[in-house]
């Protein structure tokens, strides 16, 4: 299965490049031919104009000499008008005989030639402009395709399908460290620390680079391709399941494979195999937020033993205090802000819940499991899907009704997480199935109690594990933010950036 952009065939690229070079050469030739013809035309015109000027100059000189050879005659006025007229008539033949008249030759007919040369220049200019423009466009397209292919090769998108892709070289420094996954029973000796709809999650230790290096652990998510290689023989349910697994792999690689943030769990490597895919992550020893909220103080005595047995249900040592929960809430909001605001195109997680929030060594929140994530282009206001994806109780009502999701759907899910952090109850808690509880679900229950304004009833909202420790006022403020985030109208919900700012003010 292809996880990257389709590679263009090399002969097509070479053909496009050759055509672009031929068009460019023809355009240059057109420009050069037109220039030479213009030079000949321009050089011929001055020669002809020069000959005409010399002829006119010689005629002017001969006329001037002839006029200078004739003596000036001064005619005195006489009383007898007849004599003066006779003398004037007598002098006229002499003057006419001394300067014989010359006929000026007509100029050569150059108007038609000038018009023809002007038409040739205009035609050659238009042809050169059109051919040059086409050659430039085709050359630009060819160069952009070649540049994109080179950039994708540098980024590793055109790797062999059976090749291992490492996204975090700092954690996995060599592909040989994952060579144990090539064996059929490569994961048989490792413990399962989690199970999901697409497969199991294993914990493994990488081989040390040198003596004295601290151990490095990774989490391996195994996603099966299906037992039957012939997809035509699969049932409809198996085909849908296979498509789901394929989309999850592609979504994981497109999102967390190339983005980095303190509150996101990045994809460390991808190892494809004929029958399955392995997605490698950094191991989070404190487990998920779901397990941390469900743990009790009595688990402390058996924590070390459970960790040695790789028991995922007891990864944490003590109950999360309110400062730790508030820190987790701020971290989740910061990760959402990065996905919705800083990342372009923005990424919608679509499956925010405590089980998909992992805790690192410093108890910082890491948003994980991007199998349902979608990238929404900037020009789109929403994305429409064919069915609803997510976890019951954390899905926004408008997404459930219209199959259209936006970034405000993630804000709704985050509001439910805030309610869980403050009350200690999840949407599927048996508390909401009791007859004395009129409200269906944690959202309506929390909204009704907070809007009534009963101080005693609001105090009973707080989780017993963190109540009465001096943080009740902060907890109620966070629960009010949860009510804002879970508003029925998505336009009334704050953005992830606004939520992060409000939580940071409470923390400080």
pLDDT band at 130 (very low <50, low <70, confident <90, very high): confident
| Tokens representing residue 375 in the block | 């990238």
Cα 344 to Cα 375: distance, rounded to the nearest angstrom: 9
pLDDT the model gives residue 139: 84
Output the 3-class SS for 104-155. Answer: CCCCCCCHHHHHHHHHHHHHHHHHHHHHHHHHHHHHHHHHHHHHHHHHHHHH
pLDDT the model gives residue 378: 73
3-12, 20-29, 398-407: range with highest mean pLDDT: 398-407
pLDDT the model gives residue 443: 92
Q: Is 351 a catalytic residue?
A: yes
What is the mean predicted confidence (pLDDT) over 362-366? 92
pLDDT the model gives residue 242: 53
What is the mean predicted confidence (pLDDT) over 55-74? 53
pLDDT the model gives residue 364: 92
The b-or-e profile of 226-245 (16+ CB within 10 A means b, else e) is beeeeeeebeeeeeebbebb
pLDDT by residue (tens digit) across 401-423? 888 889 999 999 999 999 999 99
Helix (H) or strand (E) holding 203: strand 199-206
Q: Given its phi and psi angles, is residue 235 left (phi above 0), alpha (psi -120 to 50 degrees) or beta?
A: beta
* pTM greater than the 0.95 cutoff: no
User: Which residue has better confidence, 298 or 414?
Assistant: 414
- Determine which one of 80, 211, 311, 351 is catalytic: 351
Helix (H) or strand (E) holding 290: helix 289-294
pLDDT by residue (tens digit) across 448-504? 999 988 889 899 999 999 999 999 999 999 999 999 999 999 999 999 999 999 999
Q: Tokens 């291992």 map to which residue? A: 164
Average model confidence (pLDDT) across the chain? 74
């Amino acid at each position: 299965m292809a996880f990257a952009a389709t590679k263009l065939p090399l002969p097509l690229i070479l053909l496009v490049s050759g055509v672009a070079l031929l068009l460019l050469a023809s355009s240059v030739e057109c420009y050069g031919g037109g220039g030479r013809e213009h030079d000949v035309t321009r050089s011929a015109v001055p020669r002809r104009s020069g000959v005409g000027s010399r002829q006119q100059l010689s005629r002017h000189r001969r006329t001037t000499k002839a006029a200078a050879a004739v003596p000036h005659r001064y005619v005195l006025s006489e009383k007898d008008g007849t004599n003066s007229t006779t003398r004037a008539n007598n002098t006229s033949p002499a003057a006419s005989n001394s300067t014989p008249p010359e006929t000026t030759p007509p100029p050569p007919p150059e108007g038609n030639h000038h018009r023809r040369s002007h038409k040739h220049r205009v035609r050659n200019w238009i042809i050169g402009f059109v051919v040059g423009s086409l050659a430039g466009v085709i050359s630009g397209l060819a160069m952009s395709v070649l540049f994109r292919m080179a950039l994708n090769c540098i980024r590793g998108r055109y790797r062999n399908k059976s090749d291992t892709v490492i996204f975090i070289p700092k954690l996995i420094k060599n592909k040989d460290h994952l060579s144990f996954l090539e064996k059929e029973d490569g994961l048989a000796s490792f413990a399962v620390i989690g199970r999901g709809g697409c497969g199991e999650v294993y914990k493994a230790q990488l081989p040390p680079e040198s003596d004295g290096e601290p151990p490095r652990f990774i989490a391996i998510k195994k996603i099966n391709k299906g037992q039957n290689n012939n997809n035509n023989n699969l049932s409809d349910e198996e085909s849908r399941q296979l498509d789901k697994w394929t989309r999850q792999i592609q979504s994981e690689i497109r999102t967390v494979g190339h983005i980095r943030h303190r509150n996101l769990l990045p994809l460390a490597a991808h190892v494809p195999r004929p029958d399955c895919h392995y997605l490698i992550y950094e191991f989070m020893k404190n487990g998920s937020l779901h397990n941390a909220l469900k743990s009790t103080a009595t688990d402390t005595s058996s924590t070390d033993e459970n960790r040695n047995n790789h028991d995922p249900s007891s990864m944490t040592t003590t109950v999360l205090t309110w400062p730790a929960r508030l820190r987790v809430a701020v971290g989740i909001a910061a990760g959402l802000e990065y996905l919705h605001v800083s990342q372009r195109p923005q990424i919608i997680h679509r499956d925010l819940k405590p089980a998909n929030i992992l805790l690192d060594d410093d108890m910082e929140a890491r948003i994980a499991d991007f199998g349902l994530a979608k990238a929404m282009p900037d020009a789109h206001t929403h994305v429409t899907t064919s069915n609803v994806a997510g976890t019951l109780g954390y899905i926004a009502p408008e997404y459930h009704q219209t199959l259209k999701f936006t970034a405000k759907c993630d804000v709704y899910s985050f509001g439910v997480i805030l309610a869980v952090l403050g009350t200690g109850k999840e949407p599927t808690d048996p508390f909401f199935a009791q007859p004395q509880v009129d409200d269906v679900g944690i959202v309506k229950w929390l909204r009704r109690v907070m809007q009534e304004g009963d101080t005693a009833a609001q105090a009973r909202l707080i989780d017993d594990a963190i109540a009465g420790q001096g943080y009740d006022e902060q907890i109620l403020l966070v629960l009010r933010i949860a009510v804002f985030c879970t508003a029925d109208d998505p336009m009334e919900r704050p953005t992830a950036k606004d939520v992060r700012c409000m939580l940071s003010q409470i923390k400080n």
